[in-house]
Chain A
Amino acid sequence: MDFFSGLFSALPTAIELGLFNALTVLALFLSYSMLNVCDLSTDGCYTLGAAVGAVVAISGQPYLSIPIAMGAGIISGFITAILQTKMGVDSLLAGIIVNTGLYSVNIAIMGNKSLLNLNGVQTVFSDFKPVMDSVKNNVLDIFGADKDSVLSTILDFFSSDIIIGLIAVTIVTIFLSLFLKTRMGLAVRATGNNPDMVRSSSINPTVTTIVGLCIANAFTALSGCLFAQSQKSMSIDVGTGMVTVALAALLIGGAFMGKGKIPKRAVGAILGAIIFRIVYTIALRFHMPSFMLKLVSSVIVIAAITGPYIKSKYPEFARRMKYRKGGRINNADS
Chain B
Amino acid sequence: MLTLDNISKTFNPGTVNSKLALDKLSLDVENGDFITVIGANGAGKSTMFNAISGVFMTDSGSIILDGKDITFMPEYKRSKTIGRLFQDPMKGSAPDMTIEENLALAAGRGGWLSRIKKSDREFFREKLSELDMGLENRMNNPVGLLSGGQRQALTLMMATINPPKLLLLDEHTAALDPKTAEKVLELTTKIVDENKLTCLMVTHNMQSALELGNRTIMMMDGRIIYDVKGKERDRLSVQDLLDRFKENAGRALTNDRMLLI
A202 contacts the other chain (CB 8 A): yes
Taking a contact as CB atoms under 8 Å apart, the answer to whether A194 and B94 are in contact is yes
Which of B55, B76, B109, B113 is the one whose CB lies under 8 Å from A202?
B76
Taking a contact as CB atoms under 8 Å apart, the answer to whether B110 and A197 are in contact is no
Taking a contact as CB atoms under 8 Å apart, the answer to whether B114 and A182 are in contact is yes
User: Which residues of A sit under 8 angstroms from B77, Cβ to Cβ?
Assistant: 202
User: Which residues of B sit under 8 angstroms from A183, Cβ to Cβ?
Assistant: 104-105, 108-115
**Which of B93, B94, B97 has the most chain A CB atoms closer than 10 A to its own CB?**
B94
Bound Cα distance from A183 to B92, whole angstroms: 18
User: Which residues of A sit under 8 angstroms from B115, Cβ to Cβ?
Assistant: 178, 181-183
B182 contacts the other chain (CB 8 A): no
B58 contacts the other chain (CB 8 A): no
B116 contacts the other chain (CB 8 A): yes
Bound Cα distance from A259 to B97, whole angstroms: 11
Taking a contact as CB atoms under 8 Å apart, the answer to whether B94 and A182 are in contact is no
Task: Name the distance in Å between A92's Cβ and chain B's nearest Cβ.
Answer: 22
Taking a contact as CB atoms under 8 Å apart, the answer to whether B93 and A197 are in contact is yes
Interface flags, B71-95, vs A, CB<8A=1, else 0: 0001111011000101000111111
User: Which residues of B sit under 8 angstroms from A203, Cβ to Cβ?
Assistant: 76, 105
User: Which residues of B sit under 8 angstroms from A259, Cβ to Cβ?
Assistant: 96
Taking a contact as CB atoms under 8 Å apart, the answer to whether A193 and B75 are in contact is no
Bound Cα distance from A202 to B108, whole angstroms: 9
Bound Cα distance from A103 to B120, whole angstroms: 48
Task: Name the distance in Å between A16's Cβ and chain B's nearest Cβ.
Answer: 33
User: Total interface residues on B, using CB and 8 Å?
Assistant: 33
User: Which residues of B sit under 8 angstroms from A186, Cβ to Cβ?
Assistant: 97, 101, 104-105
B106 contacts the other chain (CB 8 A): yes
* With A190-B94, A199-B55 already in contact, 14 other A-B pairs whose C-beta atoms are closer than 8 Å: A183-B113, A183-B114, A183-B115, A186-B105, A193-B94, A194-B90, A200-B75, A200-B79, A200-B84, A200-B92, A201-B79, A201-B105, A202-B77, A202-B80
B53 contacts the other chain (CB 8 A): yes
Taking a contact as CB atoms under 8 Å apart, the answer to whether B105 and A190 are in contact is yes
A35 contacts the other chain (CB 8 A): no
Taking a contact as CB atoms under 8 Å apart, the answer to whether B91 and A197 are in contact is yes
Interface flags, A159-192, vs B, CB<8A=1, else 0: 0000000000000000000100111101101100
Task: Name the distance in Å between A307's Cβ and chain B's nearest Cβ.
Answer: 20
User: Which residues of A sit under 8 angstroms from B92, Cβ to Cβ?
Assistant: 196-197, 200
Task: Name the distance in Å between B144's Cβ and chain A's nearest Cβ.
Answer: 9
Taking a contact as CB atoms under 8 Å apart, the answer to whether A193 and B108 are in contact is no
Which label, helix, strand, loop or mixed, suits the secondary structure of the A interface?
A: helix
Bound Cα distance from A204 to B74, whole angstroms: 9
Interface flags, A245-289, vs B, CB<8A=1, else 0: 000000000000001000000000000000000000000000000
A205 contacts the other chain (CB 8 A): yes
Q: Which 5 A-B pairs have the closest CB atoms?
A: A193-B94, A184-B112, A202-B79, A196-B91, A194-B94
Bound Cα distance from A23 to B257, whole angstroms: 53
**Which of A182, A190, A194, A203 has the most chain B CB atoms closer than 10 A to its own CB?**
A194
User: Which residues of B sit under 8 angstroms from A202, Cβ to Cβ?
Assistant: 76-77, 79-80, 108
Taking a contact as CB atoms under 8 Å apart, the answer to whether B106 and A201 are in contact is yes
Taking a contact as CB atoms under 8 Å apart, the answer to whether B95 and A193 are in contact is yes
Bound Cα distance from A135 to B113, whole angstroms: 38
User: Which residues of B sit under 8 angstroms from A184, Cβ to Cβ?
Assistant: 112-113
Bound Cα distance from A90 to B36, whole angstroms: 39
Taking a contact as CB atoms under 8 Å apart, the answer to whether A200 and B91 are in contact is yes
Task: Name the distance in Å between B103's Cβ and chain A's nearest Cβ.
Answer: 10
User: Which residues of A sit under 8 angstroms from B75, Cβ to Cβ?
Assistant: 199-200
User: Which residues of A sit under 8 angstroms from B93, Cβ to Cβ?
Assistant: 194, 197
Bound Cα distance from A202 to B93, whole angstroms: 13
Taking a contact as CB atoms under 8 Å apart, the answer to whether A200 and B112 are in contact is no
| Chain B residue, CB-CB nearest to A33 | B96
| Chain A residue, CB-CB nearest to B55 | A199
Bound Cα distance from A66 to B55, whole angstroms: 42
Task: Name the distance in Å between A178's Cβ and chain B's nearest Cβ.
Answer: 8
Bound Cα distance from A204 to B75, whole angstroms: 9
Bound Cα distance from A203 to B107, whole angstroms: 11
Task: Name the distance in Å between B17's Cβ and chain A's nearest Cβ.
Answer: 21
Task: Name the distance in Å between A207's Cβ and chain B's nearest Cβ.
Answer: 9
Bound Cα distance from A202 to B90, whole angstroms: 18
Task: Name the distance in Å between B22's Cβ and chain A's nearest Cβ.
Answer: 19
Bound Cα distance from A205 to B104, whole angstroms: 17
| Chain A residue, CB-CB nearest to B80 | A202
Bound Cα distance from A194 to B143, whole angstroms: 12
Bound Cα distance from A132 to B86, whole angstroms: 60
